[in-house]
Amino acid sequence: MTKQIKTMTILLSICSLLVLSTGYVVQLQSWLMFNAGLENNPQKQSDKTVYSHVGIRTMVSSQNPIFNMNVEFSESDVTPQNETHVKTPTLASYKEKRIQSFEEPKDVSFSTETTRPGNKLKSDRDFPLVVELQDEVLIEFPDQYSRFEMQKALSRLLVLPREMNAKQIVASNPIDVRQKPYLYKRVYNEYDKPVRYPAQAFKYADYLLNNFSQKINEEQEAYTVVSIPLKEVQLPTSVETYQAWVERYSKKHKIAPELVFAIIEVESAFNPLAVSKSNALGLMQIKAKTAGKDVYQYVDGKKGEPGEAELFDAENNIRMGTAYMGLLKHEYLQGVRNIENKEMLSISSYNGGISKTLKLFGKTPQEAIMRVNQLHPKQVYRTLRYEHQSGEARLYLDKVLKAKKRYRDLLELTA
């Protein structure tokens, strides 16, 4: 019995020693593994730096106030474990011969993005740089772009309806070609035709790569710089002379300035001393006893009619002619609901008289306006163009509408 007790005591002691030794072994193993990890992979601060590279970007520096480079990224894209710093470049300037080709740029379109840890970092190297100058647009492509990718990006840039953007020219989203391109009538192809549609732009992009591109190697970096020549659009002297007055009075009387310019062109060819057979005077060919008298009474609030000196004064003639168009459109024809119909009737009435114009649609002004409101603009146009009793009035509508379109495009390009 005593032997059995001794044996049990020894076994219990051995078990206790085994349990205790196991705990020490686990701690020792953990300590060894931890230190081995430190030896093989010492703790370091994770820090990635994105530098702006050279080429056109050389000109973008914090010391050059005429450039505006915005580097933006979302805070949600950066974690404390993997901070991303973006340095504002302060690189050296271009070589002298290349600086000479740069004048004050209108815009530098450039983006730098970051991605979450584990994903490929996107920097400005992934996007072209677009710089709009007075007489050209420069696009700098990083070396990784193939010729086809550059041609596609250039063709997209040529048909973008809004201001140029580096991301948009390399994107794959569709472009609404119904909208007029931002560079329309500022970029002309090799056949001196304005670039408007994608197929035309794609072909011209190939021409640009063949004739207006340059391969540049700088500081172990390579780029392709493509130049798109721009045509400078200027207003004719005749338009510039009267632009301030036209803008002032067209705004006051709610008439499109391009319509005022169109009427001036068709009526007098910008001659402030023009006199017609029916004694219409000045730039907008105002008759003192009709349009002049109406403006005196309903706009100026006074009796009588203007004299020759008033109508030969360029500014006053524009004021009275624009005011009379305002009376036609907003007072005499205020019951016409369709904007196109109202404008065509106003134009025809300016030349052929409001009474004769409305009689084409009804016996009284009320009946005429009710009838016009039932017609499509094409029907109203055909009536004014082919049924007006005055041959001059029939041609007048077409002349003014065509001139208005030209001046609208011209004013948009020079705005």
Answer whether 267's CB lies under 8 Å from 285's CB.
Answer: yes
pLDDT reading at 39 higher than 60: no
- Kindly report which listed range (111-115, 363-367, 370-374) carries the lowest average pLDDT score: 111-115
Q: In this structure, which amino acid lies at residue 234? A: Q
Domain locations in the chain as residue ranges? 47-229, 237-413
What is the distance between the alpha carbons of residues 302 and 125, in angstroms, rounded to a whole number?
A: 69
pLDDT reading at 92 higher than 90: no
Return the biggest CA–CA distance within the chain: 150
Q: Work out the average pLDDT over 157-162.
A: 91
Q: What pLDDT does 45 receive?
A: 36
Task: Say which residue, 186 or 19, is predicted with more confidence.
Answer: 186
Q: Count Cβ atoms below 10 Å from residue 354 Cβ, excluding itself.
A: 20
∠ CA 10-14-20, rounded to 5°: 145
Query: 39: part of which helix (H) or strand (E)?
Result: helix 2-40
HSE-CB at 366 with a 13 A cutoff on CA atoms is 0
Q: Work out the average pLDDT over 336-362.
A: 96
What is the distance between the alpha carbons of residues 187 and 157, in angstroms, rounded to a whole number?
A: 11
pLDDT band at 16 (very low <50, low <70, confident <90, very high): low
Cα-to-chain-centroid distance, residue 158: 12
Backbone angles phi, psi at 26, to 5 degrees: -65, -45
- Nearest of 331, 342, 328, 325 to residue 384 by alpha carbon: 342
Q: Work out the average pLDDT over 245-263.
A: 97
Residues 6+ apart with CB under 8 A from 297: 303
Pull the structure tokens for residue 163.
């201001």
- Kindly report which listed range (105-109, 134-138, 145-149) carries the lowest average pLDDT score: 105-109
pLDDT digits (tens, 9 = 90+) for 274-324: 999 999 999 999 999 999 999 999 999 999 999 999 999 999 999 999 999
Answer whether 282's CB lies under 8 Å from 267's CB.
Answer: no
Give the torsion through C-alpha atoms of 386, 392, 393, 395, to 10 deg: 60
Answer whether 275's CB lies under 8 Å from 281's CB.
Answer: yes
Residue with tokens 């019951």: 335
**CA-CA distances (angstroms) from residue 388 to 278, 328, 361, 362, 397?**
19, 18, 10, 13, 11
pLDDT digits (tens, 9 = 90+) for 47-56: 332 323 334 4
Share of the chain above pLDDT 70, in %: 70
pTM, rounded to two decimals:
0.57
- Where do runs of H (alpha helix) occur along 216-256? 237-253
Mean residue pLDDT of the chain comes to 77
pLDDT band at 5 (very low <50, low <70, confident <90, very high): low
CATH topology of domain 237-413: Lysozyme (1.10.530)
Q: What pLDDT does 70 receive?
A: 32
